[in-house]
Structure 1
Amino acid sequence: MNNKEVLLISNYFPPEKGAAPNRMHTLAVNLNRANYNVHVVCPMPNYPKGAIFKEFKGSIYKKEVEAAGTIHRLWLWPSNSSNKFVRLLSMLSFSMSLSFFFLFKRSPKKIFIQYSPVFVGFTAVFWTWLLGKKRILNVSDLWPLAGLEMGLLHKGAYYSVLEWMEHFCYKKSHLVVGQSEEILTHVKARCNTAPFLYRNIPDFNPPSFMETSLEKPITLVYAGLLGIAQGLTEICSKIQLPDDVELHIYGAGPETDKISKINKKNIVYHGEIDRTELHKTLQQYDLAFIPLTNRIYGSVPSKLFEYTRLGLAVIYFAGGEGGKLVETHQLGWNIPVSDFDALQAFISELSIEKLKALKKEEVQKKAVKAFNFQKQFNNFVKALESL
C-alpha cells in the first residue's frame, strides 16, 4: 500500500448525527479530495439512541463506498445505558470486532485513531503498534479525566487501568492531534509524542443573510446531544425565562425523554432534524446556547465553531478554553460554568439593545477569520505526509 492511503478508526460515523460523526466524516471527505485513498472502520450506526439503525440490523460486516472513501462497518452490541458495566460491554464488543478486522484485513501504513472511548482507542493503538503502523491519535476529550470531572468515574483500580491505557496510547503514537491547547498540554506532560492542534472547525460555506430588525420575543437555541454532560434538564428546571425570552431545543440523547416532557410555555423541544436543514433553521434564532454541567478540562464544544460560523452569537456556559475563545474573538458572552445565579441574571437582563452589540454579520466575519478549516487541514496534511 502506498503513502497516500490512510485508515480512520472511529466509534462514530454518519449516518449517525452529532459533532463526533460530523468531525470524522469531514476529515475523511477532505482527505479523499486531497487524493488520499481513505478507508474508515466504524461500528454499525447506533448513536445516540443505542440501537442499530433499521437498514443495518442483522449485519455483522458491511462495506460501502462513498464520498468519504471505503467504509467498513463492524458488528457491536449497542447500548446507551446509564449502567457503566453495560456501556463497557458495548465498547468491548466493538473492540473485539476491531481486533478481528486487524487480524484478517490488510490495512494502510498510516492509521488515524479516534481515541475515545478508551477501550476502542487502546485496542486500535495496540494492534497497529504490533503491526508496525504509523499511528495518529486524535484526542477530542481527555478520558478518563473527563469522566472523573463529570462524576461518572471515581479514582480506584478501574480508573488506574484506564489511565494506564491512556498513557499507552499517547506514548505509542507518532502524532497526537488535540482539539484544544489544554489537551496538548495534558499530553505533553505524559509523553514526548509530537503534538498537533486541530480544532473542531466545520467545513461548510458560511451562509449569507440580510440583517432584519430585532424584535421580541428574544429566541435562544440549543442544538446537539441531549446528554448528562450538557445538563439541559437541570438548567431548564432551575432557570426562569422572562416572558419575552424563549429557548428552543433540537437534538437527541439520553435525556430526550425528560426534555420532551418539560412543561414550560417558553421552552420548546423540536426533536432531531437533518444537519443541512438544521443550519437553515438555526439562522432564524437570535442567540445560541452552549452549556456543560461542569467545566471539563480540555473540552471545547464544537458547537462554538458551528454556531458562530452561522452568525449566531453565543451564551457560553461551559467554562475553560472555549470561554476564553469567546472573549478573545468577541463571539458572545462567557458565563461562569455552573453559576446558575449568573446565568439567571444574564437571561433576565437580555434585551434588544444587548443583541445589537453583536450583530450576526459581525459575529460570522470574526468566526470565519479566526477559525479557518482549510488552512488547518492543509497544515495537518503536511504533518501526515511527514510521518
Structure 2
Amino acid sequence: MTKDVLIITSYFPPEIGAASNRIFQLAKGLQHHDFNVTVLTPLPNYPTGKIFDGYGGKFRHISKEKNIKINRLWIYASNSKNKLLRLIAMLSYSFSLIWFFMWHKIPKTVIVQSPPIIVAFTSMLFLRKKNRNLILNISDLWPIAGLELGALKKNFSYKLLEKIERYNYKKAKLVLGQSEEILTHVTSMFPNKKTFLYRNFPDFELPKIEKLTSNGKLKIVYAGLLGIAQGIHKLCAELDYSHIELHIYGSGAEQLQIETFISQHPQLPIFFHGQVTRTALHGLLMSYDIAIIPLLNRIYGSVPSKIFEYARLGLPMLYFGGGEGEHVINDNNLGWIATSGDYDHLNSVITTIKIESLTIERKQAIQDLAIKHFDFNRQLDALKATI
C-alpha cells in the first residue's frame, strides 16, 4: 500500500551541496520504496543567494521529477553575512510554508529538515496535531553549531533559539540524526524520544578503480562548499607545498578570496576548477590520490557526508575536522587524521602519506567496506520500518 509523505526542506536540487543531495536521496529512496513523496522547498537560490534562472518572478513553482512532486515556494533570497537579512530570508520561507499549510491538505507523515531551526519550528508548530507523524531530520545541531562557528553568541537570542530547539525535539515523534552525537544530545533532553541514526549514505553506480599516473607529487583534492566553516582559504595559506598539489572544486562565500590568493601566489601548485555537477565530479575525483575533508572548527554533531561518498569511490581521505568524523575514519581504516585546527600537524601527517602506498588494492578495500557498511538501501529499509 502506497503511503503519502511530505518532506519539508530548505535545500533541494538544482541547488548543490551535501544538504541538497541528502534530501534528494531520501526523497528518491522513499519513492522507490512505495511512498508517494511530495517535497516543499524554496525557489532554488543556494549558495548564490539569488533565485536561479528560470525560477525568478514566481511565487510558486510546481514540477514532477522522478515521480516526486516538488512545490517550490517564494523566498527572499540572500546569502548576506548580515544576520538580519539572513533572518528575513528564513522568515520569508516560513511565511510561505504557513500559506501552503493553510490552503493544502497535508499528509499524516511529514519529514522536516533541520537546520534552519526557525523553518523547522514553523513546520512543527503548525503541523503539531496529535495524529500526525512528525519526523525531524537533524543534520547539524543548532544553535550549538552556530556558537562553535562563531556565528552566534550566548545572549537572549541564543536562549530563544535553545527554546525553539527544545520545542522541535518535543513535538517530533521520531528524530533522525546523522551522528551519534546528535542523538545523544536529543535524548539528554528527552530520554524517551524515539531516535534513528540516519547517516548520509550515497547511492550511485560504483566506479571502477584504476591505476593513476604520477608526477611525483601527492595530488590532494577538496570538493564542496567553499564556506567559512570549511576554511579552504586558510588551508591554502597554511599547507606546505613541497611535495603536494591542491585541487579545489566548488563555490561559496570564500571563492573570491581563494581565487585572489591563487592569483597572488602563482608559484604555488593550487588549482581552482570551479563548480561541476555531482556526476561529473565523481569521475574527476577518481584521478586524485587523496581527498581532504577540513573544518575550520570542530562542530559538535557534525559528520561530513563526504566521508561516505568518497568511501564509495574508493578514495582515501585526510580528515581535518575533529569530532565523530575522526572515529568513522579510524574505525573503518579510511585514511589519515590530523588534529583539528593544527596546521603543523596536518603538514606533518601529509609527509607520512606515500604515493606508492595508494595502491588499487587499498582503494578497493575502502570501496568494498563502503558497500558492506555504508549501504543506502539497507539503511532505508530499516528507516521504512520505523515510519
Distance in 1 separating the partners of 2:283 and 2:213: 19
Q: Which position in structure 2 is the counterpart of 1:194? A: 194
1:289 aligns with 2:288: no
Contact 1:6 1:108 in 2 (8 A): yes
For residues 323 and 361 of structure 2, the distance between their equivalents in structure 1, rounded to whole angstroms, comes to 22
CA contact (8 A) 1:63 1:73 kept: yes
Secondary structure of the equivalent of 2:333? coil
> Is 1:184–1:197's contact at 8 Å kept on the other side of the alignment?
yes
1:77 maps to which residue? 76
**Percent of residue pairs identical:** 46
Residues 68 and 286 (structure 1), Cα distance of their counterparts in 2 relative to 1, 3 Å cut: farther
Map residues 40-189 of structure 1 onto 2, 5 A cutoff. Answer: 40-67=39-66, 69-130=68-129, 132-189=131-188
Summarize the Cα distance change of 1:68–1:145 in structure 2 as closer, same or farther, 3 Å threshold: farther
Cα deviation code 1:54-81 (max 9, x no counterpart): 1100010111111151000000001111
Aligned counterpart, 1:13: 12
Does the alignment pair 1:373 with 2:372? no
Q: Distance in 1 between matches of 2:125 and 2:20?
A: 23
Do the aligned partners of 1:50 and 1:79 also contact (CA within 8 Å) in 2? yes
Please state if 1:363 is matched with 2:362: no
Structure 2 spans left out of the alignment, 5+ residues: none
| Shift in CA distance, 149/358, structure 1 to aligned 2, threshold 3 Å | farther
Cα separation, 2, equivalents of 1:383 and 1:126? 23
Q: Distance in 2 between matches of 1:97 and 1:49?
A: 20
Note if 1:337 corresponds to 2:343: no
Which of the residues 304, 307, 312 maps onto 1:309? Answer: 312
Structure 1 residue 87 displacement after superposition: 0.6
Give the whole-Å Cα distance in 2 for the aligned partners of 1:356 and 1:215.
16
| CA drift at 1:307 | 1.0
Maintained 8 Å contact 1:331/1:367: no
For the aligned residues, what is the CA RMSD? 1.5
Report if aligned partners of 1:329, 1:367 keep a CA contact under 8 Å in 2.
no
Give CA-to-partner distance per residue, 1:309-333, whole Å, 9 cap, x none. Answer: 1111000001111111100100000
Listed one character per residue, the Cα deviations across residues 155-207 of structure 1 (whole Å, up to 9, x for unaligned) are 01000010000000001010000000010000000113200000000011221
| CA 1:318–1:180: 2 relative to 1, 3 Å | same
Check whether the contact 1:211–1:361 (CA below 8 A) recurs between aligned residues: no
Q: Secondary structure at the match of 1:177?
A: strand
Instruction: Report deviation, 1:353.
Output: 3.8
Aligned residue for 1:29?
Answer: 28
Cα distance between partner residues in 1 of 2:122 and 2:318: 38
Give the drift of 1:231: 0.6
CA positional deviation for 1:339 = 1.1
Q: CA deviation at 1:360?
A: 1.6
Deviation at 1:238, TM superposition (A): 1.8
Distance in 2 (alpha carbons) for counterparts of 1:101 and 1:4: 21
Q: Quick check: 127-136 or 26-35, which moved more?
A: 127-136
> Retained in 2: the 8 A contact 1:179–1:199?
yes
Q: Distance in 1 between matches of 2:283 and 2:366?
A: 17
What's the counterpart of residue 216 of structure 2?
216
Alpha-carbon distance between aligned partners in 1 of 2:343 and 2:247, rounded to the nearest angstrom: 19
Give the TM-score taking structure 2 as reference length: 0.96
Structure 1 residues 37-46 or 337-346, which shifts more?
337-346
**Given the superposition, is the C-alpha separation of residues 206 and 3 from structure 1 closer, same or farther in structure 2, using an over 3 Å criterion?**
closer
SS at match of 1:136: strand
Deviations 1:330-371 (A, max 9, x none): 000011111111002122444324434972212211222221
Task: Tell which deviates more after alignment, 231-240 or 54-63.
Answer: 231-240
**What CA distance in whole angstroms lies between the structure 2 residues aligned with 1:347 and 1:156?**
41
Q: Does 1:261 align with 2:264?
A: no
**1:383 aligns to what SS in structure 2?**
coil
CA distance in 1, matches of 2:368, 2:326: 19
Conserved in 2, the CA contact under 8 Å of 1:331 and 1:366? no
Q: CA deviation at 1:290?
A: 0.1
SS at match of 1:7: strand
| Inter-CA distance 76–294: structure 2 relative to 1 (3 Å threshold) | same
Aligned length: 382
Amino acid at match of 1:327: N
CA gap 1:68/1:155 in 2 versus in 1, 3 angstroms:
farther
Q: AA paired with 2:222?
A: Y
Other-structure match for 1:231: 231
8 Å contact 1:64–1:70 — kept in the other structure?
A: yes
Alpha-carbon displacement from aligned partner over 1:24-68 (angstroms, at most 9, x marks no partner):
111111111112111000000000111000110001011111115
Tell me which residue corresponds to 1:272.
275
Counterpart AA for 2:229: A
Question: For the Cα contact (< 8 Å) 2:5–2:38, is it kept in 1?
Answer: yes
Report if aligned partners of 2:42, 2:72 keep a CA contact under 8 Å in 1: yes
- Alignment deviations for residues 248-291 of structure 1 (CA, whole Å, 9 cap, x no partner): 00011111111122224311110000111111111000000000
Write the letter of the residue equivalent to 1:364: Q
1:326 aligns to what? 329
Amino acid at match of 1:271: G
Are the equivalent residues in 2 in contact too, given 1:7–1:108 (CA < 8 A)? yes
Distance (whole Å) between structure 2 residues aligned to residue 190 and residue 119 of structure 1: 19
Structure 1 length-normalised TM: 0.96
